[in-house]
A and B are shown apart, each in its own frame.
Chain A
Amino acid sequence: MSITAAEWWMIVTAVLACVPCALLGALLVLRRMALLGDAISHAVLPGIVGAFILSATRNPYAMLAGAMVTGLLTAWFTSLFSRYGRVSEDASLGVVFTTMFALGVVMLRFVPRGVDMDPSCVLYGLLEFTGLRMVEPVAGLRVPEAAALLAPVAVVAVLFVTVFFRRIRLISFDPALARSLGISVGLLSAALLTLTAASVVASFQAVGSILVVAMLVTPGATAQLLTTRLWTMLVLSCVLAITAAVGGCLIAIHVDSSAAGWIGVFSGVQFALAAIFSPGQGLLLKRLRALALRVRIEREDLLATMYRREELRTGQRVDLPDTSVDRMPKRRSLITVLARRSLRRGKLLLSRGKEVELTSAGRAAAAELVRRHRLWERFLSDNLALPLDHLHEPAHRLEHFADPERLAPVEGMDVNGAQPHVDPHGRPIPRVERDQPRPNP
């Protein structure tokens, strides 16, 4: 696949549009203001149309100025209404930007004839045509108009966030502390907001409002899933935006369809992958961890059940109604299969024909578990005065997670005295040799 010069410029422009949006958007995501970007990107329409009507040309700088004005007005009106108008912030945001957008649509009627203005460009942008409108900002350097507009915005955004990183982090995390230290939260917020509006306005001509919104929210949200440090999150957010821009453009060139569309899709896929595979917060790892826990509990239940059966068989205890004895699962599920397999592997369980038996290591591990269970029953009965038929269930849950002997000093439990030799049902509490390393069931 060979890439033409025009296509290279498209990729460069896309990257220049995506990076400042992703960087400033990540900060919006953290400050729970993600939708403000959405609002600004829509509210710029009346500004652009107004600049159009007044200047009667497609002067990009006039449009930029007009869009900045209405974009910032949106942010300002929103905070004004939510502060004084007894309207929640999201509702006032919704009211302001839809009204502004609608105003822009109405104003389109007054655009001078002969100037073409296609509302669909507002949505999808003109990324494919960036190579067609070249300007020469510096002698000898011909770059697309969109890139010439975006490059300074991108540079200023990155520099600003880098230089004022600590201040930005402070006012985003705890504005009250910042104010109490005499730091002007309003000034820095306003500067960030202005930069965000500038990025939105500058990018939106090139890539359209949908992609602008995507870039403001998605890379930041994805990065947030992947790290617990703000600096890493911001860098990641930019890296994700760059890869989405390049990847999306390449796909679009290859299949000959909307570049803005593909960048948005690419970014969404990045988010989905992070949501599933993220090491800290990914769904997959959470599921695997939950599965591992269920297998462990099943293993422990199997061992304890085997132990209780042996007790009955060898007559160490009289049979009392105990629901736990026949908890041997009849059905084979993934969990039971995994649990049995790991018990056999760990040489805790032996299969002899159709029967399964505990090995001596298995018996020791099981004794430990049953000991925990019965100590818990003892504790619950003695200290919380639970009736006999209420003991099994809580003890059965506790035995997997909490070792009563470690808690004994805290809870004032007597685990080795005369009392806990039997559980409240009269069953013996197994003794475990303590000088050996504890079997890990």
Chain B
Amino acid sequence: MSPAALDTNVAVEIHDLTVAYDRKPVLWDVDLSIPSGVLCAVIGPNGAGKSTLIKAALGLLSVLSGRVWFFGEELNAVRRRLGYVPQRESVDWDFPVSVRDVVMMGRAGVTGVFGRSRPKDVEVVEQSLRQVGLSEFGDRQIGQLSGGQQQRVFLARALAQEADLYFMDEPFAGVDASTERAIVDVLKALRERGKTVVAVHHDLQTVPEYFDHAVLLNTRLIASGPVNEVFTRENLQRTYGPRLTVLEEAGEAMARAREARPS
């Protein structure tokens, strides 16, 4: 066990994580440490193992090797403190449930086998809906919402979990500008309350603006640390390969990052 594993100020500590589908490795020997209280972006090209990292950490996939600690403890001891926002496409949005029902699912970890919701659960659900701006949509069937609103339902559900550490799989994928702003606001509010968020992110341009920590991944770990240290042209080149468009995007983002954080 690495010494950092016992440190409760480390939100996520991953040691020697290897995951393979069939025989093709998706994650290879990843060592990683994310401090608590940061907004952390997981970036890398398609197929780099970003979603796999999250799913493996949460025990949703079987791994070939590796151990994961959250706040210095094993998964089963801290499940209540973890929240999960899956990819939007992972569920059937025609399923006959209301927005409020879905958000209430976030309380399933505490409401017990029969799932009776107590007044406190109802209150948390309403508050979560308010926080993402969906209060008026509580009774809608989830299929009647726009893509951005659906993403916010997932976010509200995660908030209802009242976790300390959130894993989000592409929370910004295919959302409109107003939803993107709403999500960013929620993320910042979470950070202010000392929560940690680990999010798979695709838009390199917004990394320095939205996040303060980054994990660069391409099957192997390329770099991990504060954005202003690891979000460099060289690291991005190692992550994405010499692809022109991506590098241009990143160059622009770095220029903006310098403007935002004069050193």
Contact = CB atoms under 8 A, between A and B. Distances in A.
A165 B116 CA distance: 10
Interface string B44-88: 000000000001001110000000000000001001001010100
Interface stretch (A222-230, A265-273, A371-379): A222-230
Nearest to B83: A180
A227 B96 contact: yes
B86 A174 contact: yes
A178 interface: yes
The winner among A30, A163, A174, A182 for most chain B CB atoms within 10 A is: A174
B113 interface: yes
B101 interface: yes
B141 A228 contact: yes
Interface in A179-216: 179-183
The number of chain A residues touching the other chain, given as a range, is 20 to 34
Contact of A173 (B60, B92, B106, B109): B92
A75 B60 CA distance: 22
B108 A166 contact: yes
Contact of B60 (A165, A176, A183): A176
Contacts of A163: 114
Contacts of A229: 96-98, 141
A166 B101 CA distance: 9
B105 A170 contact: yes
Given A164-B113, A165-B115, A170 B84 contact: no
Contacts of B114: 163-164, 166-167
A30 B113 CA distance: 21
A233 interface: yes
A172 interface: yes
Contacts of A228: 96, 98, 141, 143
A163 B59 CA distance: 28
A230 B97 contact: yes
B2 interface: no
Contact of A224 (B59, B84, B96, B105): B96
Given A163-B114, A164-B114, A177-B105, A182 B95 contact: no
B255 interface: no
A173 B102 contact: yes
B244 interface: no
Contacts of A58: none
B96 A172 contact: no
Interface of B: 55, 58-60, 76, 79, 82, 84, 86, 90-92, 95-98, 101-102, 105-106, 108-109, 111, 113-115, 141, 143, 157, 161
Given A165-B115, A169-B105, A228-B141, 11 more contacts: A30-B96, A163-B114, A173-B105, A176-B90, A177-B106, A178-B108, A181-B161, A182-B109, A183-B108, A229-B96, A230-B97
Shortest beta-carbon contacts, A-B, top 3: A166-B115, A228-B141, A181-B109
